[in-house]
């Protein structure tokens, strides 16, 4: 490592700026940077990454610009972008993406000739997956750089001592992320990954329930996930606003001990995903108390078989009120689905349930026949 007093003073000045953003340290940082550059920038590849990350965490755009201008090569810049977003410095994050082409999921780069040995890749990527990994998204619970946007400082961010930290606010981090998403500054893969990070973070916050602050952070994550889904629908088909992986990540949330807030989110935002998982997962079909609370939020799936599974599960548990809430599903529930539900209700001697299901089946059949007859009459009149 380079033993440069100027370098040590620069780190200290950036750390002071992080600790107290209102303090007048930017002039001091600027002066020390100029001095470091005049000294022919005598720092190695690891130190340059550490400096860039500290400047991003401090939100000092002028320092970030000077560092990027003075250094021809950075081994790894993605975590610098993570820290800019984590600390709510959207202006720094946008500049890194727009002017430096920083990719949140980029792997480290290795120069052809190195004057120093680099540490293992994990020192730079924080053991996170990157775009270069064949395992990216294979397990939605695996961390990626986006995961660390929504985590407070731990005192282990530094590549070189001393440790540093600054104030963390989930809302400020979310606001910074929203700015780059709305501006269309990422591609589909990064968009998907940020969404994945939000919903996984929310699931963990609600599962652990350590404090009211954690619960509020979880609610913020779900609000932003909702916003991302709406933005995705608004820009459907455009690169930079996600793809079908968003719904795969939602499906991955349905696991044993899934918090009620997450179930409610899925029921509202992606009912077809919940119904598909209900059809596939036997353990989920046994969670009748949970499923019953979600019925009013659900909308029918285009896959009739999935709707039929819900009807069967509710009939088997004798949930008559919830069955009645499905009256409006009409043609989205097939005769076969009703027959299976009637059969299980009869076997369990749920007389009222069996009677009601049979009446609904006959009512739906009559409505379907009447609609078919009306369509036939209209066809004849148009001939």
Q: Could you list the pLDDT tens digit for every one of the 383 residues in the chain?
A: 445 788 888 999 999 889 877 666 667 888 888 888 887 766 788 899 999 999 999 999 999 999 999 888 899 999 999 999 999 999 999 999 999 999 999 999 887 766 566 778 888 888 889 998 989 999 999 999 999 999 999 999 999 999 999 999 999 999 999 999 999 999 999 999 999 999 999 999 999 999 999 999 999 999 999 999 999 999 999 999 999 999 999 999 999 999 999 999 999 999 999 999 999 999 999 999 999 999 999 999 999 999 999 999 999 999 999 999 999 998 899 999 999 999 999 999 999 999 999 999 888 876 655 455 444 434 544 55
Q: Angle 188-208/212-234 helices, nearest 10 degrees?
A: 150
Residue 286 located in a structural domain: yes
Q: Which tokens belong to 344?
A: 């299980």
Task: Note down the domain range covering 314.
Answer: 274-383
Query: Residues near 74 by Cβ (< 8 Å), separated by ≥ 6?
Result: 45, 48, 49, 52, 68, 109
State the Cα–Cα distance between residues 213 and 350, nearest whole angstrom: 46
CA torsion sign for 151, 169, 185, 123 is negative
Instruction: Name the CA radius of gyration of the chain, rounded.
Output: 28
Inside any domain, residue 282: yes
Handedness of CA 206, 212, 214, 219 (dihedral sign): positive
310 belongs to a structural domain: yes
Beta carbons of 383 and 371 less than 8 angstroms apart: no
Residue 1's pLDDT is 43
Determine the longest span between alpha carbons in the chain, in angstroms: 92
Tokens of 41: 């920038």
Closest by Cα among 129, 143, 125 to 77: 125
Q: 11 lies in a domain?
A: no
Residue 193 to residue 180: CA distance in whole angstroms: 14
Helix, strand or coil, per DSSP, at residue 169: coil
Asked whether residue 354 is assigned to any structural domain, the reply reads yes
The whole-number pLDDT of residue 373 equals 43
Handedness of CA 298, 344, 258, 248 (dihedral sign): negative
Among 221, 307, 234, residue whose Cα is nearest residue 261: 221
Residue 37 is assigned to a structural domain of this protein: no
In a domain, 141, yes or no: no
Q: Based on the structure, what is the number of domains in the chain?
A: 1
CA–CA gap between residue 69 and residue 217 (Å, rounded): 37
- Residue 106 within any structural domain of the chain: no
Chain centroid to Cα 374, Å, comes to 47
């Amino acid at each position: 490592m380079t033993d440069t007093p100027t370098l040590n003073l620069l780190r200290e000045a950036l750390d002071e700026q992080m600790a107290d953003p209102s303090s007048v340290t930017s002039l001091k940082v600027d002066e020390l940077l100029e001095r470091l550059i005049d000294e022919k920038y005598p720092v190695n590849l690891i130190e340059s990454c550490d400096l860039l990350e500290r400047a991003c965490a401090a939100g000092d755009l002028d320092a970030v610009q000077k560092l990027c201008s003075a250094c021809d090569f950075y081994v790894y810049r993605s975590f610098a972008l993570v820290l800019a977003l984590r600390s709510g410095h959207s202006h720094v994050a946008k500049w890194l993406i727009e002017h430096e082409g920083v990719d949140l999921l980029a792997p480290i780069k290795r120069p052809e000739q190195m004057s120093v040995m680099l540490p293992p890749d994990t020192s730079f990527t924080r053991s996170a997956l990157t775009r270069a990994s064949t395992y990216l998204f294979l397990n939605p619970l695996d961390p990626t750089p986006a995961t660390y946007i929504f985590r407070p400082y731990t005192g282990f961010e530094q590549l070189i001592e001393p440790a540093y930290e600054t104030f963390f606010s989930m809302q400020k981090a979310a606001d910074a992320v929203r700015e780059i998403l709305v501006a269309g500054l990422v591609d589909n893969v990064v968009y998907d990954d940020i969404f994945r990070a939000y919903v996984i973070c929310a699931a963990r916050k609600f599962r652990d329930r350590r404090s009211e602050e954690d619960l509020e952070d979880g609610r913020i994550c779900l609000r932003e996930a909702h916003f991302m889904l709406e933005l995705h629908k608004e820009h459907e088909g455009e690169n930079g606003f996600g793809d079908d992986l968003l719904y795969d990540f939602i499906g991955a949330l349905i696991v044993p001990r899934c918090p009620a807030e997450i179930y409610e989110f899925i029921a509202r935002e992606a009912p077809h995903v919940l119904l598909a998982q209900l059809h596939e997962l036997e353990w989920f079909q046994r969670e009748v108390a949970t499923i019953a609370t979600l019925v009013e939020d659900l909308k029918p799936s285009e896959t009739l078989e999935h709707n039929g599974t819900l009807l069967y599960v509710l009939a088997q548990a004798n949930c008559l009120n919830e069955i009645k809430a499905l009256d409006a599903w009409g043609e989205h529930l097939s005769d076969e689905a009703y027959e299976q539900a009637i059969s299980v209700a009869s076997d369990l001697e749920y007389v009222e349930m069996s009677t009601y299901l049979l009446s609904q089946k006959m009512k739906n059949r009559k409505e379907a026949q009447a609609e078919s007859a009306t369509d036939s009459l209209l066809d004849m009149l148009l001939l």
